[in-house]
Amino acid sequence: MMTPNKEDYLKIIFELGGTEHKVTNKQIMNSLQISAPSVSEMMTKLLKDDYIVHVPYKGVQLTEKGENKASILVRKHRLWEVFLVKKLEFPWNEVHEEAEVLEHVTSRELANKLDKFLDYPKTCPHGGVIPSDHGQFPEKNNLSLVHFGKLKEIRIKRVLDDKELLDYLSSLEIKVGQVYTVKEYGIYEGPITLEHDRKEKQISYKAASNIFVEEI
C-alpha cells in the first residue's frame, strides 16, 4: 500500500465511527497498518486544518468539516464499489484498489449519475452506508466484534474496506449478513471463536476489530 494521505486518514476515521464517537490512534494504526509516529504526525495536521477534534486519552472525532470531506470521498468510493461488483462482476475483495483510484477523478455530477444508474444503492458490498449527495450520512453499526460479550448472537453488518482483511475473510468464507454466536474470546487479544451451524471459525483479534456487528 502507498503511504496513506490526508484523505485516507479522514476516510478511515469515518469508517471507524469517528462521526459518532472517539477513534483511538491504535485503531487507526491497526486499520491503515502504519506506525504510531506517522499517525500522530498526521493527527497534528488534521487538527490544525480543523478536520478533527482531539480529546486526551480518548482519541479523535471528526468535525463537521471533516465529516463533510470524508463523506464526499466515501460516497464516491462506495458507489464505484457497487458498480464494480454489480455491473462488472468483480469479487468484493478486489474492488477496493480500483475504487480508491476512481474516487479521486469523480466529479459530483458523475457520482450523482452513477448513483442513479445503480438505482440508488443504500450500502456498498462491504456493508458500508453510502452517504447522500447533500452532506453527512453517519456510518451506523460502529461496534466492532471485539466489543461483544461471550455467547452473544451477532450479525455481521459491515467490514472495513481493506484488501488484506477482505482476502482473509474470503478465505474463511465470512460475509456481510451472516449470523454467528460468539463462543470464545482468546485472552490477551487472542483469537475469537465464532460458531454457526455447529461449525466453528477462529478469527484473529485484529480482523475482529475491523468487523462491525449488531446483536440479534
In the complex with Zn ion, the residue whose CB is nearer, 23 or 124, is 124
In the complex with Zn ion, the residue whose CB is nearer, 67 or 100, is 100
Number of residues that bind Zn ion (CB under 5 A): 5
- CA 88 to CA 205: how far, in whole Å? 33
**Secondary structure (DSSP) of 3-36:** PP-HHHHHHHHHHTTTTTS-B-HHHHHHHHT--H
Subset of residues 169 to 198 that bind Zn ion, contact rule: CB under 5 A? none
- CA 182 to CA 203: how far, in whole Å? 11
87-to-60, 81, 83, 112, 143 alpha-carbon distances in Å: 37, 10, 5, 17, 31
How near is the Cβ of 203 to Zn ion at its closest, in Å? Answer: 19
How near is the Cβ of 54 to Zn ion at its closest, in Å? Answer: 27
CB 70 within 8 A of CB 13: yes
Piece of 8-16, 81-89, 150-158, 197-205 that binds Zn ion (CB under 5 A): 81-89
CB 84 within 8 A of CB 98: yes
Subset of residues 103 to 162 that bind Zn ion, contact rule: CB under 5 A? 124, 126, 128, 161
Count CA atoms closer than 13 A to 99's CA, side-chain side. 29
How near is the Cβ of 95 to Zn ion at its closest, in Å? Answer: 7
How near is the Cβ of 142 to Zn ion at its closest, in Å? Answer: 15
The residue behind cell 465464532 is 194
In the complex with Zn ion, the residue whose CB is nearer, 69 or 126, is 126
62-to-8, 23, 99 alpha-carbon distances in Å: 13, 9, 23
What is the x/- site pattern for Zn ion, positions 18-57, by CB under 5 A? Answer: ----------------------------------------
Interface pick for Zn ion out of 81, 100, 103, 139 (rule CB under 5 A):
81
Q: Footprint of Zn ion on this chain (CB under 5 A)? A: 81, 124, 126, 128, 161
